[in-house]
Amino acid sequence: MKKYESLCGQDIRTTLREMIAIANESGNLVETVFNDDHIIVRPGDTVGALYDSWKKQWDRAYDESPEGRAQIAAREENARIIREEQSKPLAVFDVTNQPLWESFVETNKSEKSEYGAAVIRYAARWAALMEQRLKVSGATIATIADQTGYDADIEGITGFMYGAARSILIQVWKHGEELRLWFEASRPDWTRASEKPSEALEEPPGRFFDLSFEN
């Protein structure tokens, strides 16, 4: 059996490729230790198969490590929180255009589009949280909107979802106009989603929101 020593900083695929070349040329097994992993290469082995085998072993070892177990536990807890959030009724906030809000909710029910439903849940959570923070003396939309936007993000929204939720609140919420003024003043370089009403927005491809952007 031949021994192979990789160079400092050499990646696993390059290591496997060079070991395979030696094994095929010599007709012998070739072994090495890569990041504490013992690897043996036989003549005729392929980089893809060896890499897949090494990656599975590495992933398994990591999952069994304290760090890996902690990460798995965190993912599972996050998934539990999201499932719980999805099962709750929508957060209640001061809606001034009930028919329009109900049309947004109906169009974006989870059975039609979970992506759209997440936008609706986020919009409701954000507005309700802002209303709660506004009860503190001296609080204004301008002072609380940014932080509450982060705090309301339980499910992990995208930039598009944030923009869609903001546009909905501008149209249906008691403090919608204040929210619009805050956003335009705080982010003057951002391109607004739409200056004219549109029947549908698409993000990502294949998923549609019937959101009428009037702001």
| Domain extent listing, the chain | 2-64, 90-209
- Convert the pLDDT of each residue in 16-26 to its tens digit: 999 999 999 99
- State the pLDDT at residue 122: 95
- Convert the pLDDT of each residue in 116-140 to its tens digit: 899 999 999 999 999 999 999 889 9
Q: Confirm whether pTM is higher than 0.85.
A: no
- CA–CA gap between residue 57 and residue 37 (Å, rounded): 9
Separation in Å, CA 50 to CA 6, 54, 177, 182, 209:
16, 6, 59, 55, 45
* 92 pLDDT higher than 50: yes
Query: Beta strand pairing status for 2-3 and 30-34?
Result: parallel
- Highest mean pLDDT out of 18-22, 154-158, 184-188, 195-199: 18-22
Which pLDDT band, with edges at 50, 70 and 90, does 78 fall under? confident
Q: Any residues with CB less than 8 A from the CB of 158 and at least 6 apart, and which?
A: 203
- CA–CA gap between residue 94 and residue 175 (Å, rounded): 8
